[in-house]
Amino acid sequence: MDVSVLIEDEARRRGLSKKTIENYVFCVNRFFQWRKKDPRKITKKDIKEFVSFLNSKGYSGNTINVYINALKFLLQEVLAKRVLWRVKFSKKAKTLPVVLTQEEVVLLISSIENKKHKLIIELMYGAGLRVSEVVNLKLEDLEIENGYGWGRKGKGNKDRLMIIPNSLVYRLREYIFENKIEKGFIFLGRKGRHLHKRSVQEIVKKASKKAEIKKNVHAHTLRHSFATHLVENGYDVTSVQTLLGHASMNTTMIYVHMAKPKLINVKSPLDDLG
């Protein structure tokens, strides 16, 4: 029984993202390296012992959760085993994401000289795009004159509505014209395919270093900053949720906690004391 192939086939049928499929296959193979056993004979006891093993090796709660989800997918979805799932999920550390101030965003963008690279970063911040969305951006996905477009292949391989900043309309059209883009990917890599995600991550890292920003800045920091600044600018959570493409408002609420209190009209009760 080739477990990897079975997981890949079932995951694709269910529309899981390429990254999720890769993670599931890796985790399940790692499990069977640890416990060499017929997949059809795996028990809850095997999985509990494996989770204990991962804990003993110092794996983080987030990582262990990925392993548990992968094994759960194998048992319930691939092998159709009716088991009562009582393996407790490891709690995730509640850490707030890194967010740039608006001044830091200006410094970051100003440090980039390459026109293409600058446009990519401005779009990621200005529209709250994930790396996967910006590299998969196609001309046919954009309604430039109407100020919106569609972000493709985001989290969970889903599509979502995105805004196009007014300040980028002219430069975006200019870039498309100068590069003679008539259809397909807007930001091309060396082999005629779309730009690689790692290239975008390197652009952000180099720009952050050049701008001398001391925070741990990565590509997704731009999306966190986009959302936080929208809340600080007075937009309601429902609007921000829609622009981010979040299925749950609870996911969006984190940006309310991260916004500067004075900009979301929060007044300390101490100020009202006589």
In this structure, which CATH number among 3.30.1490.20, 3.40.190.80, 1.10.10.10, 1.10.150.130 belongs to the domain 3-78? Answer: 1.10.150.130
| Residue 175 among the catalytic residues | no
| Residue 246 among the catalytic residues | yes
pLDDT for residue 139: 92
Q: What is the DSSP letter of 185?
A: B
Mean pLDDT of successive 10-residue segments in the chain (274 residues)?
88 85 92 91 87 86 86 89 63 73 94 95 91 91 87 66 88 93 89 86 96 93 89 79 73 65 52 58
If you write DSSP's letter for every residue of 228-247 in order, what string do you get?
HHHHHTT--HHHHHHHHT-S
150-182 residue pLDDT tens = 877 656 556 778 888 889 999 999 999 999 999
pTM for the full model? 0.65
Instruction: Find, among 126, 146, 155, 124, the residue nearest to 137 by Cα.
Output: 124
Q: Does domain 102-264 bear CATH number 1.10.443.10?
A: yes
Catalytic residue among 246, 257, 260, 262: 246
Instruction: Find, among 229, 257, 263, the residue nearest to 95 by Cα.
Output: 257
Catalytic residue among 72, 116, 138, 155: 155
pLDDT for residue 92: 58
| Residue 220 among the catalytic residues | yes
Catalytic residue among 118, 223, 224, 229: 223
| Residue 190 among the catalytic residues | no
Catalytic residue among 130, 160, 224, 229: 130
In the chain, where the domains are located: 3-78, 102-264
Helix extents (H) in the chain: 3-13, 18-34, 44-56, 61-72, 102-110, 115-127, 131-135, 166-178, 197-210, 219-232, 237-244, 249-258
250-267 residue pLDDT tens = 766 666 666 665 545 555
pLDDT for residue 147: 87
CA angle 152, 157, 159 (to 5 degrees): 35
| Residue 155 among the catalytic residues | yes
pLDDT for residue 271: 57
- The C-alpha atoms of residue 110 and residue 203 are separated, in whole angstroms, by 13
pLDDT for residue 117: 96
CA angle 49, 53, 54 (to 5 degrees): 120
Are domains 3-78 and 102-264 of this chain identical in fold?
Answer: no
The label of the residue with tokens 């925070």 reads 215
